[in-house]
Amino acid sequence: MDRQLRVMVVDDEQAMLEWLSILLEQHGYRVDCFSNGEKALAAASEEMPDVVVVDVKMPGIDGLELLSRLRRMEPEVIGIVMTAFSSVDSAIDAIRKGASDYLIKPFEVDQLLVAIEKAMGHRSVRLENRELKRKVTRRFSMEGIVGKSRPILDLLEKVRLVADRDSTVLISGESGTGKELIARAIHYGSARAERPFFAVNCGSFTHSLLESELFGHVKGSFTGAHRDKEGLLVAARGGTFLLDEVSELDRELQVKLLRALQERQVLPVGGTRYVSFDARLVAATNRNLKELVESGAFRDDLYYRLNVIPMHVPSLRERASDIPLLVDRFLEVYASESGDGPRSFSPAALERLMEYSWPGNVRELENVVERLCVMIRGPVIEERDLVGVLRAATPIPLGAPPAAGEDRPVPGALPPGEASPTLREIEKAWTFYVLEHRAGGRKRLAARMLGINESTLHRRLERYAANLDVEDGE
C-alpha cells in the first residue's frame, strides 16, 4: 500500500467510535472519529477521507445526508452505512445516497473489513477506467482545433504542457479565433476532464445579473430571487470555469472576483456566509488587458492574478496555411449535417480564400463555407462564387508588399481632398450595411457575419441609437 488509507468514522455513540478506531488502526488504517455530521463535514473540507463509515441515526445531520454531502464534495469517496434499525427502504435509500455497503449493528469485525476492501477494489477499477478515459479524451480533445501551421502547433504544445496544472490561464486573441476551443482542450486534457466545464460571457449580462451567475444569490436578495441559487463557480466543482470577455467586468465586480480567487471562496448576493469553490479558472479576452491596466480600466492586481499562464490564439491571417485544412473540415461537417454530396473548392477559389484577410477569423471562414454550400448547388465552388460573399474590403495578399513604384489603392480610400471618416463612423456604417443588406435584419446572422458576439452587436446598436438621439436633439 503506497499510503495509509484514511477512514472517517461518524457515530454519536462514543463506545462505538472507540471500538472502531482501535480495530481499524490495528489493520493499518488511519482513523478520524467524529460524534456528529457537522464536525465531520468541517474536517472533510480540509482533507477528504477515502472511506466514511457512518451511523444512520444521529442528531443534526443524519448519516445518509452526511454521506450525500460528502459525495457532492468528492464523488469517489466510499461510504459504508451502519444502523441498528434495518429495513429494505433504508437500505435502498443508503445505496441511492452513494453507500457501497450496508451493515446492521451489531456486526462482525470481518464484515466491516471485507466491506472496506471490496469497496476499495471497486474504487480502484473506477479510477483506472477514469484514467484510461482521460487518456483517450486527452488525445481527441485536440481534434476540434484544426491546423498544422507553426503558430497553432506551438499553441497546442503549450496546451499539453499546462493542462494538468491548476494554474489560471489567460487566453487572448481576436474574436472568432477559437479561444473557447482552447479552453475546452485544456479542460479535457486535465484531471478535471470528467467534471463540469462551464463558461460565462461577461459581455452578455448586466453587472447585477453577472454577479448572481458567478457567485449565486440567497432567497429574497432581490426581486425575482424566489429561492437560493448556487453560483456557477461553485457549481463547477472539480471542473473548469471559463470567464469569457473578462475585459467587460466593471471595477466593482473585478474587486469581488479578485477576492474570490485569492480566498477560493465566494459570497452569494445577499448572503452572509462565504462558500468555498474548487474550479480551475480560465479567462479569455479579445482586448489587450495590459493596455486596459495602463489606462486604469482594469485592475492591475486582478490582471496579474489572471495572467499566470498567458496563451495567445493566432488570428487566421497568422496561419493562412491552415485555411485549406479548415475548409475541408467545414465541408465535411456540412455534408454530414445536410446529407448533401461532397463539395470542394477550386484551386483558384481556395487561393482567393487564402489571400483574404479574414477579420472575423475562423468563425467567419466557417460562416462563408456554410453559406456557399447552401447557395451553390454544384459540387465545385469556383472563384466567381465568392463575389459578394467575402466582406466588401479588397483583400491584400498576406506578406506581399507593393512593388517598387506601384501605387496600390488602400481599401475604402477616399479621393484626395475629402475628409476621412472616423473609425467609429466606418464601424457604424459597416454594421448597418451587414445587418440590412447581408443579413436581412436578422441580428444573430449579422453578428456571425461581423465576427462578433450577438451581445456585442446589441450593445453597438444601443450605442448608435443613443448617439442618434443626441444628434436629433441638437
pLDDT at 376: 85
Whether 71 contacts 99, CB under 8 Å: no
**135 pLDDT higher than 70:** no
Residue 239 has a pLDDT of 93
Residue with C-alpha cell 451587414?
A: 434
The predicted pLDDT at position 404 comes to 39
Mean pLDDT on 365-385: 89
Rounded Cα distance between 112 and 124, Å, is: 18
Does 173 have pLDDT greater than 60? yes
The number of residues in the chain equals 474
Q: What is the mean pLDDT of residues 138-166?
A: 82
Whether 293 has a pLDDT exceeding 70, the answer reads: yes
Whether pLDDT at 1 is above 90: no
pLDDT in tens, 2-16: 567 889 999 988 888
For the segment 453-460, the average pLDDT, to the nearest whole number, is 83
Q: What span, in angstroms and rounded, lies between the C-alpha atoms of 214 and 269?
A: 10
Average pLDDT value for residue range 148-177: 93
When mean pLDDT is compared across 167-181, 254-268, 354-368, 387-401, the lowest value belongs to: 387-401
Cβ–Cβ under 8 Å, residues 392 and 438: no
Please tell me which residue, 349 or 138, carries the higher pLDDT value.
349
Query: Residue 206: pLDDT band by 50, 70, 90 thresholds?
Result: confident
Residue 90 has pLDDT above 70, yes or no: no
Give the domains, in start order, of the chain with CATH numbers.
Answer: 6-131 (3.40.50.2300), 144-314 (3.40.50.300), 316-391 (1.10.8.60), 421-474 (1.10.10)
Nearest to 307 by CA among 167, 198, 154, 174: 167
48-74 mean pLDDT = 85
CA pair distance 233, 260, nearest whole angstrom: 10
**pLDDT above 50 (res 221):** yes
Q: How confident is the model at residue 87 (pLDDT cuts 50, 70, 90)?
A: low
Residue 162, pLDDT > 90, answer yes
Could you tell me the pTM of the whole model?
A: 0.58
Higher pLDDT among residues 453 and 275, named by residue: 275
What pLDDT was estimated at residue 297? 92
Rounded distance, CA 144 to CA 185, Å? 9
4 versus 346: the higher-pLDDT residue is 346
- Provide the grid cell at 385: 462564387
- Give the rounded percent of residues in the chain with a pLDDT score beyond 70: 84
Asked if residue 447 has pLDDT above 90, the reply is no
pLDDT over threshold 80, residue 126: no
Select the highest-mean-pLDDT range: 199-213, 240-254, 426-440: 240-254
Which residues are CB-neighbours of 86 under 8 A, at least 6 positions away?
A: 104
User: Rounded mean pLDDT of the chain?
Assistant: 82
